[in-house]
């Protein structure tokens, strides 16, 4: 039996950075789910054991240990997996070496395939519903993947100002938001492609003894509270202030870890300066955010798309590796596929 899902990546506005126990976050986060940056996965389940995996039709034995580790981590929730062989065919809409993390889209697509199959064989899982279970499994694969299960704005991690938010699984942002945030643009500028010098796993671990640990975790709760007012009222000025502060705080935490490290590159900073100067001069609401790498996500409302894209193509493109960028926007979340399009 075969199941197939396509699942998007996401970009955090308030960043998850630091974890405990089994991939539980040290602080709450909220993200935009993307649309074009996605992974499509098909899993063929048959009786037996073991895993095979292909990426774009090519065997990838080097991915097997990671997938097996993930399956072991979810086995306590899905013991049936121990008597199945999984043939996984996967492909990303973005190039593998683009520096865009495929873990959120990849782990969420695989988790959705597994939960759908569990449902088909009548396995009664613990969570309240299909998507909740898929978010729990995704989280066990890669923390931020838990948020890729839903479209739009998604929250992961318990926080006093959001009743149902919790550490186990992500939820769709439950309150009314200003329409400006429904189709926000995110253009990913590829500054650096290939492996990062310090992985997210290592970065999370460095938060354990970080000198600013407790201040950071309480700041994230405070920011989650602030962003709710911003999302409701469409307060772009404060949206920009808060999300840029979050991005630079994330990298500030890296720089003040022990050992310290820097993932931004000279062109990351050049882009940030250009964006801030453009915003001052044009008064247009273009801003940036960063994930744990050198690439820059340029954020702007769909209403200024034409001018935003022109600025990127005329000014920012020179700082991109081989002039590469991906023009994406907020998307509606994963999709079940009936046919895995080759
Ligand atoms: O999901 P991980 O372990 O790759 O960590 C992701 C961390 C950030 O991308 C930097 C922030 C986030 O909330 O997605």
10-55 confidence digits (pLDDT tens): 999 999 999 999 999 999 999 999 999 999 999 999 999 999 999 9
What is the pLDDT confidence band of residue 342, given thresholds at 50, 70 and 90? very low
The Å distance, Cα 229 to ligand 1 centre, comes to 24
- pLDDT score recorded for residue 97: 60
Mean of pLDDT values over 257-273: 97
What is the pLDDT confidence band of residue 143, given thresholds at 50, 70 and 90? very high
Q: Judge whether residue 96 has pLDDT over 90.
A: no
Q: Judge whether residue 99 has pLDDT over 80.
A: no
The Å distance, Cα 200 to ligand 1 centre, comes to 7
Say how far residue 16 (Cα) sits from the centre of its chain: 10
Q: Is 25 in the pocket of ligand 1 (CB under 6 A)?
A: no
Instruction: List pLDDT tens digits, range 299-322.
Output: 999 999 999 999 999 999 999 999
Q: Is 275 in the pocket of ligand 1 (CB under 6 A)?
A: no
Which two structure tokens, joined as six digits, stand for 129? Answer: 């519903």
> Strand 51-55 to strand 84-92: parallel, antiparallel, or no bridges (unpaired)?
parallel
Mean of pLDDT values over 232-256: 98
* More reliable by pLDDT, 198 or 267: 267
The runs of H, that is alpha helices, within 234-334 are 236-255, 266-282, 305-311
The runs of H, that is alpha helices, within 121-212 are 130-141, 200-206
- pLDDT score recorded for residue 226: 98
Cα separation of 39 and 134, whole Å? 15
- Percent of the chain predicted with pLDDT > 70: 97
Ligand 1 pocket test: which of 13, 108, 200, 249 has the largest number of ligand atoms within 8 Å of its C-beta?
A: 200
Q: Is 29 in the pocket of ligand 1 (CB under 6 A)?
A: yes
Can you tell me which residue has the tokens 């149902």?
164
pTM across the whole model: 0.96
Cα separation of 264 and 250, whole Å? 11
What is the pLDDT confidence band of residue 6, given thresholds at 50, 70 and 90? very high
**Bridge partner list, 29:** 156
- Phi, psi angle pair for 110, to nearest 5°: -65, -45
Residue identifier of the C-alpha nearest atom 4 of ligand 1: 200
DSSP-assigned states of every residue in 193-248: -S--SS-HHHHHHHTTT-TTHHHHHHHHHHHHHHHHHHHHHT-HHHHHHHHHHHHH
- pLDDT score recorded for residue 339: 65
């Amino acid at each position: 039996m075969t199941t197939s899902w396509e699942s998007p990546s996401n970009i955090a506005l308030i960043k998850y950075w630091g974890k405990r126990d089994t991939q539980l976050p040290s602080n709450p986060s909220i993200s935009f789910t993307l649309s074009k940056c996605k992974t499509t996965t098909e899993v063929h389940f048959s009786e037996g054991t073991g895993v095979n995996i292909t990426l774009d039709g090519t065997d990838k034995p080097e991915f097997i240990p990671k997938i097996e580790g993930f399956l072991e981590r979810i086995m306590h929730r899905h013991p049936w997996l121990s008597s199945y062989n999984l043939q996984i065919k996967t492909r990303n809409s973005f190039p593998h070496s683009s520096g865009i993390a495929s873990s959120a889209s990849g782990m969420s697509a695989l988790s959705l395939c597994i939960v759908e199959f569990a449902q088909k064989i009548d396995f009664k899982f613990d969570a309240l519903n299909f998507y909740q279970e898929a978010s729990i499994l995704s989280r066990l694969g890669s923390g931020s993947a838990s948020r890729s299960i839903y479209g739009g704005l998604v929250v992961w991690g318990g926080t006093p100002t959001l009743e149902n938010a919790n550490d186990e699984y992500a939820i769709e942002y439950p309150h009314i938001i200003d329409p400006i945030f429904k189709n926000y643009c995110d253009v990913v500028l590829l500054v650096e492609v290939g492996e990062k010098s310090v992985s997210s796993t290592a970065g999370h671990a460095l938060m354990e003894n970080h000198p600013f640990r407790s201040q950071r975790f309480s700041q994230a709760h405070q920011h989650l509270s602030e962003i709710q007012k911003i999302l409701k009222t469409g307060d772009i000025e404060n949206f920009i202030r808060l999300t840029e502060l979050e991005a630079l705080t994330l990298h500030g935490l890296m720089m003040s870890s022990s050992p310290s490290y820097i993932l931004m590159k000279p062109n990351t900073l050049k882009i940030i300066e250009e964006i801030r100067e453009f915003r001052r001069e044009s008064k247009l609401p273009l801003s940036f955010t960063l994930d744990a790498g050198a690439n820059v996500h340029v954020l702007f409302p769909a209403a200024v798309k034409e001018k935003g894209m022109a600025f990127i193509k005329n000014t920012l493109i020179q700082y991109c590796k081989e002039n590469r960028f991906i023009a994406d926007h907020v998307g509606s979340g994963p999709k079940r596929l009936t046919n895995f399009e080759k």
